[in-house]
Amino acid sequence: MAKADRSQLPMPDPPFGGKIGPTYQESTPEWPALPAAPKGAPNVVIILLDDVGFGQASTFGGPVPTPALDKLADAGLRYNRFHTTAICGPSRAALITGRNHHNCGSGFLAEWATGFPSYNCMIPQSTATMGRILKDNGYNTSWFGKNHNTPDWESSVVGPFDRWPTGLGFDYFYGFIGGETHQYYPVLFENTRPVEPETSPEDGYHFMTDMTDRAIGWLRYSKSVNPDKPVLLYFAPGAAHAPHHSPKDWRDRFKGQFDQGWDAVREETYQRQLKLGVIPPGTQNTPRPEWVKPWDSLSDDEKRLYARFMENFAGYLSFADHECGRLLDAVGELPDADNTLVFYIVGDNGASSEGGFTGTVNEVMNLNGLPSNLEDNLKVIDEIGSPDTEPHYPLGWAWAGNAPFQWVKQVASHLGGSRNPMVVSWPAKIRDVGGVRSQFAHLIDILPTVLDVAGIPAPSTVNGIAQKPMDGVSIASTFASADARPVREQQYFEVFSNRAIYDQGWIACAQHTFPWRQDFAPGNWDKDRWELYHLDEDFSENDDLAQKHPDKLETLKKLFDEACQKYNVLPLDDRGSGRLTEPKPPPGGADPKRRRFTYFPGAVRLAETAAPNTKNRSHRIDVTIEKKGDGVLLAEGGQSAGFVLYVKGGKPYYHYNFFEMERTSVESSVELPDGRCTVSFEFRYDGGGAGKGGEAVLIVDGNEVGKQRIERTVAGRFGIDTFGVGCDTGSPVCKDYKPPFAFDGVIGQVDIVLGDPGLSEDEERVMQARFHAGINY
């Protein structure tokens, strides 16, 4: 048999090798051979945690016990100079494509996407993923958990589905789309179909356990059907990204363990790192920056609250590692367990400071620019981590969690944003078990490594599309020796205009924006202060050599400019809210200026960016009811923020949730009549800018039946949950019912008009122009 040509995928169908005669009696059959992986190709399991800093897991000296990771490291290798992009979606794109994040269209997050090729977050066909390459080379492929690589405007039933996991080459997907989800009320999809959890939080449901059960089931079933066919299992928990949802028994295990505060915890971590050898002797613990308050300067109430936030995070991370351990135990039971290559990557970026200075129990509110206050958080201190909260710890814990490095998630210029631990295990090949590897490596190196050890070339074409070359290189040589020559001598970093360039042991970096200030856009890139560090002698970036070696700094800055051209980094863009509010492509190629929408029962799990944008404008909702009943008519958003129109006890209600800070309910003065009727809601917006108030009016068959004033509205995004007709999926917008509270009558249709219903299209455009100019109307 001729050797398979794996350079062009999918591989062409093999020629028929049998014989065709006049009848079957004179003929010889032959079944076409399916694509098969090269002999000896390993199973591949990739575990990617979320928002975990270099100094948080116990395996790398952190205060949070991660026994599953410890066990894997004792049987494999610890990598202490492994790098991410410093932000989640771009890191994940780099991982699955083997290309730098700008080079695969993912320069920043999809929610902040712009219409430039490197920032539209639409992974191009020229950068085929590991799912596609391995599937076409005879692997079974799956993806569980977080998917932040499908633009949310493409996540409706009209697709397109090319950039869903199943369109990117993964045979099976079970998880959520976006940067995060509620762990007790997740917004779930199986392949491309929305699904609901089978149990509730009251019954002990948690998504981390659910996805682990599903992954174990898929793995066992795959190996039962064909034990010789290798698998790729990409396991991407939402943990430990906010909301930090720790089961109560897990968070309670850490009571009192962080009362000493972040200064002390960071120093304790640093000392353990030295003892473990995961940082070199002589490494300095970089000092506390001015944006972190000394723990001793906090009030007793602040210390009590902030310690509880960290106890909850520790419970969440340790619980996640426990579930990863269950998966790894299942991997260990495979018939070819020894030939299974496991990458356990501890975070897609550094620890997150997006909880702000005070932490929060509603992190979506923080992301909308509204910080929490101490008094409100203290009221629910005992509930932090429960289904009724969406917590994120204060930024002091993020700084402590990135010991011994400077800065945090989003700050790609410094190692606190981009240096993450990794453990690699492969019992059949790795002999130096428990060893440490210090070669400089990056997420883009994982796919080339897998292809290298599997004996699979990077394809030149996929589906007839010429492929960009891999930006990553194989790190397989480091499996055998701690002294293997460096495999990566240069790498650039850029996120949100925070930028750096590494070259042969040196790194030049320029910090530009603040992660906790999405509205902070200084411009003036030419005025940024560049720093210079010799990492081979200064592991933690503690000694800035920019003044001592100006020529070296200039050389590296020129290398960064060259990398910008080579990897399509430009244009630099430091806008926060400006990018967030920039219009995204309408779903399915619809008219972006559309004002009138009609939906029918079954229209659920529509992403916020694909749904009618009722924010910052007047609007009207009409629900035609064919048969009355109780339940949700229309809902968007969830526990963090949103609105819902529902019927209970025969009466219609409208409820608006402004980040749980203010809740406004409009109750009908009458019950619905028997037979066909129309329930309407009008919001008469004050205007004069974003996030203003207005009159909320409830109407039945043309008659006003209730009215309330809403003083403040959400200007940006409601958050995690979605838009749906006939039920409230995910977490509940209103506490007056238990989700999904499906309507048990019959809905005919839902009609939505954006803007004043009495205005023409042209008049509405004038009104919107005045609104964007801040003029009242």
Q: What is the pLDDT of residues 354-399, one digit of tens each?
A: 999 999 999 999 888 888 889 999 999 999 999 999 999 999 999 9
Displacement of CA 89 from its chain's centroid (Å)? 6
Which residues pair with residue 75 across a beta bridge? none
Contact (Cβ atoms closer than 8 angstroms) between residue 230 and residue 41: yes
pLDDT band at 2 (very low <50, low <70, confident <90, very high): low
**Ordered domains of the chain (ranges, CATH):** 43-488 (3.40.720.10), 499-580 (3.30.1120.10), 593-772 (2.60.120.200)
Task: Note the pLDDT of residue 584.
Answer: 85
Contact (Cβ atoms closer than 8 angstroms) between residue 702 and residue 608: no
Distance in angstroms (rounded) separating the CA atoms of residues 377 and 371? 11
3-class SS at 272? helix
Residue 281 has a CB neighbour count (10 Å cut-off) of 7
Distance in angstroms (rounded) separating the CA atoms of residues 157 and 587? 9
Mean pLDDT of the 216-233 span: 97
Residue 535 has a CB neighbour count (10 Å cut-off) of 16
Tokens of 518: 């999405």
Give burial (CB, 10 Å; 0-12/13-18/19+) of 92.
Answer: buried
Task: Note the pLDDT of residue 522.
Answer: 79
| Digit-coded pLDDT (tens) for 689-733 | 999 999 999 999 999 999 999 999 999 889 889 999 999 999 999
pLDDT band at 771 (very low <50, low <70, confident <90, very high): very low
Task: Note the pLDDT of residue 372.
Answer: 86
Radius of gyration of the chain (CA): 27
Dmax over CA atoms of the chain, in Å, equals 93
Q: Please determine, for residue 777, whether its predicted confidence score (pLDDT) is greater than 50.
A: no
| Digit-coded pLDDT (tens) for 567-578 | 999 999 999 878
In terms of DSSP H, where are the helices of 373-507? 374-379, 395-401, 415-418, 446-454, 477-480
Among the residue ranges 447-461, 513-527, 579-593, the one predicted with the least confidence is: 579-593
Among the residue ranges 173-182, 305-314, 607-616, the one predicted with the least confidence is: 607-616
In terms of DSSP H, where are the helices of 333-445? 363-367, 374-379, 395-401, 415-418
Among the residue ranges 195-199, 317-321, 432-436, 759-763, the one predicted with the least confidence is: 759-763
Task: Note the pLDDT of residue 434.
Answer: 97
- Phi, psi angle pair for 279, to nearest 5°: -130, 145
3-class SS at 194? strand
Distance in angstroms (rounded) separating the CA atoms of residues 636 and 727? 10
pLDDT band at 591 (very low <50, low <70, confident <90, very high): confident
CA distances from 55 to 42, 74, 275, 640 (A): 31, 18, 13, 30
Percent of all residues in the chain with a pLDDT value above 90, rounded to a whole number: 88
pLDDT band at 773 (very low <50, low <70, confident <90, very high): very low
- Look up residue 110 and give its DSSP letter: G
Distance in angstroms (rounded) separating the CA atoms of residues 449 and 467? 18
Cα torsion through 667, 606, 577, 50, rounded to 10: 110
| Digit-coded pLDDT (tens) for 703-713 | 999 999 999 99
Distance in angstroms (rounded) separating the CA atoms of residues 604 and 156? 9
Tokens of 65: 């016990």
Task: Note the pLDDT of residue 768.
Answer: 47
Task: Note the pLDDT of residue 770.
Answer: 42
Task: Note the pLDDT of residue 762.
Answer: 56
Contact (Cβ atoms closer than 8 angstroms) between residue 63 and residue 265: yes
Give burial (CB, 10 Å; 0-12/13-18/19+) of 758.
Answer: exposed
Helices and strands, counts by H and E, the chain: 16, 30
pLDDT band at 1 (very low <50, low <70, confident <90, very high): very low
- Is pLDDT larger for residue 594 or for residue 182? 182
- Phi, psi angle pair for 250, to nearest 5°: -80, -45
| Digit-coded pLDDT (tens) for 226-261 | 999 999 999 999 999 999 999 999 999 999 999 999
Q: Please determine, for residue 75, whether its predicted confidence score (pLDDT) is greater than 50.
A: yes
Residue positions counted in the chain:
777
* E strand segments, 269-370: 340-345
Contact (Cβ atoms closer than 8 angstroms) between residue 90 and residue 428: no
Mean pLDDT of the 340-361 span: 97
Task: Note the pLDDT of residue 765.
Answer: 52
Cross-sheet strand order for the sheet of 461-462: 8-9, 461-462, 465-466
Distance in angstroms (rounded) separating the CA atoms of residues 390 and 711? 23
- Is pLDDT larger for residue 757 or for residue 426? 426
| Digit-coded pLDDT (tens) for 645-662 | 999 999 999 999 999 999
Q: Please determine, for residue 485, whether its predicted confidence score (pLDDT) is greater than 50.
A: yes
Q: Please determine, for residue 774, whether its predicted confidence score (pLDDT) is greater than 50.
A: no
| Digit-coded pLDDT (tens) for 259-276 | 999 999 999 999 999 999
Listed in sequence order, the residues at least 6 apart from 602 whose beta carbon sits closer than 8 Å to its beta carbon are 725, 726
Q: Please determine, for residue 758, whether its predicted confidence score (pLDDT) is greater than 80.
A: no
Whose structure tokens read 């995070």? 313
Task: Note the pLDDT of residue 573.
Answer: 95
* Nearest Cα to Cα of residue 536 among 505, 509, 508, 500: 505
Q: Please determine, for residue 312, whether its predicted confidence score (pLDDT) is greater than 90.
A: yes
Task: Note the pLDDT of residue 760.
Answer: 54
One-letter identity of residue 318: S
3-class SS at 527? helix
What average pLDDT does the chain have?
Answer: 94
Task: Note the pLDDT of residue 776.
Answer: 29
Q: Please determine, for residue 558, whether its predicted confidence score (pLDDT) is greater than 50.
A: yes
Contact (Cβ atoms closer than 8 angstroms) between residue 187 and residue 721: yes
| Digit-coded pLDDT (tens) for 96-123 | 999 999 999 999 999 899 999 999 999 9
Cis before 522 (ω within 30):
no
Distance in angstroms (rounded) separating the CA atoms of residues 255 and 431? 39
Cross-sheet strand order for the sheet of 530-534: 490-495, 498-503, 506-510, 530-534
Tokens of 208: 């981390």
